[in-house]
């Protein structure tokens, strides 16, 4: 699932409009709309963080977690999930992601897929 689709799903689950999310996040309605619709398929981490934490009231890992699983180089034997080290290595490919956020995302992924 793309960033935009994940944002839209969380927004709708919380019964919020794009306008409400944009206002809360301190972003333009066009920016939020463009991200949701995939016009901006790879938004900057700072935009995703604003939308997640301010706009939707969730941790940014809620938006990033599915993207990490889809990253290339994340192949593993089918009989086991990724190790924490494998997840952190994959997250290291996202230059805007700081160490603390990477560790939180890794924890969410391990908890979700274990």
Rounded to two decimals, the pTM is 0.60
Q: Using CA atoms, how far apart are residues 64 and 109, in angstroms rounded to an integer?
A: 10
Tell me which residue has tokens 């604003």.
Answer: 50
80 and 102 together in one domain:
yes
Q: With beta carbons less than 8 A apart as the criterion, state whether 14 and 56 touch.
A: yes
Q: Domain range for residue 89?
A: 62-113
What are the pLDDT digits (tens) for 52-81?
999 999 989 888 875 544 444 444 444 466
Question: What percent of the chain clears pLDDT 70, i.e. is strictly above it?
Answer: 83
Give the number of domains in the chain: 2
84 and 104 together in one domain:
yes
Q: Using CA atoms, how far apart are residues 60 and 34, in angstroms rounded to an integer?
A: 18
Q: Using CA atoms, how far apart are residues 40 and 86, in angstroms rounded to an integer?
A: 28
Q: Which of 47-56, 68-77, 96-105 has the highest mean pLDDT?
A: 47-56
């Amino acid at each position: 699932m793309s960033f935009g689709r994940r944002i839209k799903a969380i927004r709708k689950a919380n019964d919020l409009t794009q306008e409400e999310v944009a206002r809360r996040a301190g972003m333009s309605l066009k920016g939020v709309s463009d991200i949701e619709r995939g016009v901006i398929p790879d938004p900057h981490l700072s935009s995703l963080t604003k939308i997640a934490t301010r706009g939707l009231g969730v941790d940014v890992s809620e938006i990033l977690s599915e993207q990490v699983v889809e990253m290339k180089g994340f192949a593993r034997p089918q009989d086991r999930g990724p190790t924490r080290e494998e997840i952190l290595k994959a997250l290291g490919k996202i230059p805007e992601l700081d160490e603390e956020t990477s560790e939180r995302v890794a924890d969410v992924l391990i908890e979700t897929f274990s």
